[in-house]
Structure 1
Amino acid sequence: MTVEQTEVTLEEFEAFDAAAPEGFHIELINGRVLMTPAPDGDHDENVVAIGLQIQAHEPTLHTYQERGLAVPAYRAGRARVDGAVAPLGYFRGQPSWSDPAGVLMVVEVTSGREQDADVDRVDKRDAYAQAGLQVYLLVDRHRGEAAVHWEPEGGRYLHVAKAAFGTKLALPEPFGFDLDTSELA
């Protein structure tokens, strides 16, 4: 049996999003509708641990959890990011699918099954690069590592650095500090 993938319009996506069952997130990435279960506690704790470290180094920044971003690339997109790092107050007055222009970093944490992790490793990474988001941090629970991607150009990130959980990961500017991954799981 073959599965046919059909691209959907933004209007069709909005209908899917409105009808989504409770406990699921609906996203539109590169023309495909993705449905993922709501995150577990460890997932949330990873985002909080990263956010606290960022705020300790730069008190004017906040990590907003489960924020909807319009990620316009060559296709309209909508991503519900695990963490959106932006100046305090950036999202005030914005709609539920916000403009990502003021977002300094997007954080994603893998969840679910190993085979589902490629959505975060590849699909979302590429969508964020195409949208011009400067820094993408992936906490890959299946591989036991964190990876930071930065400097998007031509729809992809030019640089990537990885660190196993329990070690330090150097974050690029505008952060410029070593993220302690010992609390990530």
Structure 2
Amino acid sequence: MPISEATSPVQLVWPSHAHLAGYVAALERGWSPNNLRPEAAQEELLLIRADPDGFLKSLVDREAMGPQVTLPDGTQVPRLPGYRRWLWDGEFCGSIGLRWQPGTNSLPSYCLGHIGYAVVPWKSGRGYAKEALRSLLPEAASIGLGYVEITTSPDNLASQHVIRANGGVLVEAFIKTPELGGTPELRFRIALQSTSAG
């Protein structure tokens, strides 16, 4: 039974050594933070084993200083400024990320949305994704975004529920570009409250 926001034990934490073992365990169980590229889990495990400090640093990259991003077809594209937060309830629960282009709400065609999230399957059904998205929206507003866009597949009703529960409005159905898989997708938009001082 989903828990209410008032009693939700999930919180967003910054990637750190204190939480890394839980993240590694989730990757080793077959979970991937990238639903477009499941092989990213194995790639991340290799990176963590080679340089855990460097891996953690790469997850918070507000200046887009990291390497290019690999798309599902192998194409490499410029990295956007962004960061990931981890969902934590005493154990690792999932990941949520925010990315943007400075000075605009627009995103390049190869980036489907400002926010992506993935909850580990053994923690699903608890309202964690909804709570994580709710918690991240003020952060998106604080970097100057007037809205965020989030995409999901037409058959992912759970994700659509998460987005709609946070004020998401469907703006279009579209077909992803070939390098992103060429499959149907839905784009939602969530208007943000300005956090600038008045």
Larger RCO, structure (CA 8 Å, separation 6 or more): 2
Q: Which TM-score bucket, shorter chain as reference?
A: 0.3 to 0.5
Higher strand share: 1
> With structure 1 as the length reference, what TM-score do the two structures score?
0.36
